[in-house]
Amino acid sequence: MFPPGEEKKLLSTQGHLPPDIRDRQFAFQDEDSDLPRCYCFDQFPGQAVFVPSGWYHEVLNLTDCVSINHNWINACNVTLVWNHLRQQLREVKTSTDDVKSTPGWAEACQDCLKAWEGWNYAEFFLLLKYVLLSRWMRLSGEGLREKLPQTALSSGAGLTSFRILELQVDTLLSDLAKGF
């Protein structure tokens, strides 16, 4: 596993990651070197490995095995996910800039983003809306309208999550104002 940023040292002159990193040289953990720093380990039956957001990794299975992967989105990495989605949309738009004047171009870009990433802006914000509303409803024992101001001010952890989600909404509105 490579800490964030170390994967850049693996890029070819064309900007591509190698298909197989086994023949490369690395610096291990605290070693001072210009080589990419990495953590190498063996995972044994019954063990689980957590790969933090932004860590490039490569797996070599020595025997037949089952790999169960789950990509998490939470308050700690939702900004990374949102920024990645925004970058992918910029790439879609750049690659289709020659037909920008075509009616429905912005919607087509969102369709391409969905095909490329598995979701688009609308689906990302539906997820945020669901999280936000479910947390508000859980915090509110009485009417949502009545409780919102009190819960937003009284819950430290909840307030932090709301602020992080609010930042994503602010950048969406800013992007929409700029025409994506």
pLDDT tens-place string over residues 55-101? 999 988 888 888 888 777 887 888 889 999 999 999 999 999 999 99
**What pLDDT, on a 0 to 100 scale, did the predictor assign at position 150?**
45
Tokens of 15: 């900007």
pLDDT tens digit at each of 180 positions of the chain:
999 998 998 888 888 888 888 877 766 666 677 788 888 899 998 888 988 888 999 988 888 888 888 777 887 888 889 999 999 999 999 999 999 999 999 999 999 999 999 999 999 988 888 887 777 666 645 544 454 444 444 455 555 566 676 777 777 767 766 765
* Helix H or strand E segment including 126: helix 121-139
If you search the block for the tokens 């990645």, which residue do you land on? Answer: 84
**What pLDDT, on a 0 to 100 scale, did the predictor assign at position 151?**
43
What distance lies between CA 150 and its chain's CA centroid?
31
**What pLDDT, on a 0 to 100 scale, did the predictor assign at position 161?**
63
Of 171, 164, 159, 156, the closest CA to residue 121 belongs to 171
pTM for the whole thing? 0.60
**What pLDDT, on a 0 to 100 scale, did the predictor assign at position 21?**
83
**What pLDDT, on a 0 to 100 scale, did the predictor assign at position 22?**
80
Q: Which pairs from 68-77 meet CB under 8 Å and 24+ separation?
A: 73/127, 75/160, 75/161, 75/164, 75/165, 77/53
Q: Identify whether the C-beta of residue 152 lies closer than 8 Å to the C-beta of residue 158.
A: yes
Of 76, 80, 6, the closest CA to residue 38 belongs to 6
**What pLDDT, on a 0 to 100 scale, did the predictor assign at position 109?**
96
